[in-house]
Amino acid sequence: MVERLLGLAVPAEHRETYLGDVAEEYTRRRAHGVGPATWLMRELCFAVPLWIQHRWDRTDLGRDVFAACCAFLSALLVLEALNRPFVLEALAEWGPGPRGVLALAINLAALSLSGVVAARVAAPEGRRAMLLLLTLAWAYPVFLLGPAALVATLSLSTLAWGIAVVAAVNFGFSLGSRPRIA
């Protein structure tokens, strides 16, 4: 699974040698104790934007897709807020948790995404999507669960925000940065 995902990062003709190089670099980092897991995670994070880049020869498409995903998630949350809870219904069918836990899970996922966007996406569209997402992600559980959820939401949101920003910085997410994706 990891290899298949990593393999997306490069054109097919380079896949075998790339995976060999990743294996070699991972082994070297593990031997020297210089964060092999973080490095591998970072490679994985780059796989999809790079795939988009070489598949369609569009350097900025990865960032656009990411912003579009945020906008899509925002739209889902808007529909939820309009009392058409098809997302939660769908999740509840296979998810074990109660409705409130699912709402908070969506909230945290949205905040994690928005944290990454906030940390790295330089485009105004990305920032706007992030702000919309952030607002909805905070408002939605309160709307659904009542004011009692506010404290829990704010606490978890702050935590999620911090984790997302630290992760974004440490993993070197650069979806909005053309030179880093190369």
Partner 1 sequence: MPTRTGLGEFEMLVLAAVLRAGSGAYGAAIFGEVERTGRRVSMGAVYTTLSRLEERGMLSSRLGDPTPVRGGRRTRVFRLEAEGRAALQRAVSQLSQLLVGTDLEWIAE
SS3 state at 97: coil
For residues 66-95, which are near partner 1 according to CB under 8 A? none
Q: Which residues contact 139 (CB under 8 A, 6 or more apart)?
A: 81
Among 30, 38, 54, 65, binds partner 1 (CB under 8 A): 54
Helix (H, G, I), strand (E, B) or coil at 147: coil
By the rule CB under 8 A, 16 interacts with partner 1: yes
CA–CA dist 25, 69 (Å, integer): 32
How big is the chain by its Cα radius of gyration, in Å? 19
Which residue matches tokens 């579009």?
Answer: 68
Q: Is 17 in the site for partner 1 (CB under 8 A)?
A: yes
Among positive and negative, which fits the CA dihedral 80, 83, 85, 86? negative
User: Max CA-CA distance within the chain?
Assistant: 56
Instruction: Note whether 25 binds partner 1 by CB under 8 A.
Output: yes
Structure tokens at 129: 């999507």
Q: Choose which of 68, 86, 110, 182 interacts with partner 1 (CB under 8 A).
A: 182
Q: Is the Cβ of residue 120 or residue 136 nearer to partner 1 in the bound state?
A: 120
Determine whether 105 is exposed, middle or buried from the number of CB atoms within 10 Å of its CB (0-12, 13-18, 19+).
middle
Options 2, 11, 68, 90; binder of partner 1; rule CB under 8 A: 11
Binding of residue 36 to partner 1 (CB under 8 A): no
Q: Name which of 28 and 84 has its Cβ closer to partner 1.
A: 28
Q: Which stretch binds partner 1 (CB under 8 A): 37-45, 105-113, 126-134, 140-148?
A: 37-45
User: Which C-beta is closer to partner 1: that of 9 or that of 70?
Assistant: 9
56: contact with partner 1 by CB under 8 A = no
Residues that bind partner 1 (CB under 8 A): 6, 9-11, 13-14, 16-25, 27-28, 42-43, 45-47, 50, 53-54, 172, 179-182
